[in-house]
A and B are shown apart, each in its own frame.
Chain A
């Protein structure tokens, strides 16, 4: 039985973050469906916003789970979130418009099974494990779906596996030039997996502050969105990709500068080219 070594002192309670994260992620993913209604791709950037919302929720879940003394397990928590989530996400894309809801349900089931296996069969006996693994599988599934919606403009299986290019003036269907066929899902997987674990991994310690960590999560999300927007130039129209890129750059610049401010606020001292202070406890 692990002992909880840290408490969440102050800040927004986890349940509130979870509900807000789930609702805003689903709303943002569904907003990309406006692409299908309006027959454009300009709403793809909502996929990136869904990624940011899901990551904020997920990084706080990692904080809750890893408070039970799983120090070196922080990066692996990100990996298992996406490993379990990507299965649910791929299967769910076969359900058309219902895909995000199906992804949530399927991922929750997979996470629940993994949590049960970890706690009862591998005997880890960590109180938050079952709920945290369930939440992280859902976050993983929704994040990869958000990336998919942002890069391809939709979240249906056909949209992820095919693309149309024109060859000598004739439109041809290509399977290799798609989100799945081109292996971009591997990039989305790792972009999310590193972004979800980095904030807590980077901010852990006695001086952990919730607002600083969550600001860093938003920064990681927008940073991932920048590169995803660059990749989306290959699969959606240049104008739509440009909108995603602009939204991402503005969001990233704001959150990055805010994170610098918060680190300055929390740091013991902010020195430039100064020696090690004399106040050592040697």
Chain B
């Protein structure tokens, strides 16, 4: 019993860490226009729409976060092997991982923009200075929380995988959660606020992203500020739920039928979520979909 109570406590803690990580990850990737919104930011100058949006496409979010988290964990593991205190080791590891992330971000922006010289897109030095540091700060929170939760899974729950391997798996999951949950809010809504809601991106509007703000020209920090409210929170809840439910079912049911209990509960949870997702999708289409005839038009 004591073992289960302890396990549930750790599970709650990892779930909380994962929620913070998911939220920070989505905001970081939105400020850097990473993931699927990137293609439109990249395309805009080619269609004649020059902009001041930060564009750091290192890779898709899952592989990129796989690297940042595995790197932070690998360095933390190395510091711990050198007898450094675990908390200090994780902080130091994450600082170095964030340094790598920041360097990759600057080279991605410079490389992409320099290759678009033909269309007149200038390199903005102030964007490199101001946006890179903001993404690094968010990335630090995301990486630190992920590596810390991996350390809890490894140290407190006794998971057999070494820390860097666990961080790789959860880093990829973190990137996938942020990419799948938060990105559509930036890529489909924020970039296309000038289009009809729910209309998708018609070919004629390709590259015509919103480039001007309420006052002056929009930059990526505005995008991070905007998307953090809903996209960031949704990503946080998504990743937090993934981590929490995964560990919760393992802790509670792994002793039933030598582990098969946990697997059965996992399958059951997937089925329940499929039903919920389908219900929400149908409900949303019925209420917000653009493909039905408007009622006023009938009269």
User: Which residues of A are in contact with B by a Cβ distance under 8 Å?
Assistant: 75, 78-79, 176-177, 181-184, 186-187, 190-191, 193-194, 197-199, 201-209, 212-213, 216, 219-220, 223-224, 227, 230-235, 256, 259-260, 262-264, 266-277, 279-282
Contact = CB atoms under 8 A, between A and B. Distances in A.
B78 A183 contact: no
A182 B77 contact: yes
Interface residues on B, range: 35 or more
A274 B51 CA distance: 11
A24 to B, nearest CB: 23
8 contacts: A78-B63, A203-B115, A204-B112, A206-B116, A223-B100, A224-B100, A227-B100, A276-B51
B248 to A, nearest CB: 25
Interface string B88-105: 000000001100100110
A231 B100 contact: no
A177 B64 contact: no
Contact of B63 (A75, A231, A264): A75
A205 B51 CA distance: 17
Interface string B66-104: 110011011101110110000000000000110010011
Nearest to A228: B74
B90 to A, nearest CB: 14
B264 interface: no
B122 interface: yes
A231 B80 CA distance: 11
Interface of B: 42, 48-52, 57-60, 63-64, 66-67, 70-71, 73-75, 77-79, 81-82, 96-97, 100, 103-104, 107-108, 110-126, 161-166, 168, 211, 217
A182 B67 CA distance: 16
A202 B123 contact: no
A270 B117 CA distance: 11
A136 to B, nearest CB: 15
B130 to A, nearest CB: 9
Contacts of A273: 124-126
B45 to A, nearest CB: 9
Residue picked from B49, B74, B79, B104, most chain A C-beta under 10 Å = B74
B114 A207 contact: yes
B217 A276 contact: yes
